[in-house]
Amino acid sequence: METLEQTTADLDRLEARMQNMVERLERLEEENRSLHARQESLVAERANLVQRNEEARSRVEAMIERLKSMENAG
């Protein structure tokens, strides 16, 4: 049969483990929020880069067309 001291020690250990788990959960939740924010930022940055790439492609294509027109006119 467990003594009161053993039961108290078991409960103290259980409380310490629970507290550790709560702290770990809080850290993981914060890390998860941070990762989601970073992901949103990267998605927005990628969209911006894709748009800039398309704009550059359009400008290059327009230049090529102008050069072809100049070549054909000359």
Confidence (pTM)? 0.68
Mean pLDDT for the stretch of residues 15-28: 98
Whether 1 shows a pLDDT value over 90: the answer reads no
Q: Mind listing the pLDDT tens digit for each residue in 23-34?
A: 999 999 999 999
What integer pLDDT is reported at residue 14 of this predicted model?
Answer: 98
Q: Which residues of 30-67 are buried (b: 16+ CB within 10 A; e: fewer)?
A: eeeeeeeeeeeeeeeeeeeeeeeeeeeeeeeeeeeeee
C-alpha dihedral sign at 11, 12, 17, 21:
positive
Mean pLDDT for the stretch of residues 9-29: 98
Whether 2 shows a pLDDT value over 90: the answer reads no
Whether 74 shows a pLDDT value over 80: the answer reads no
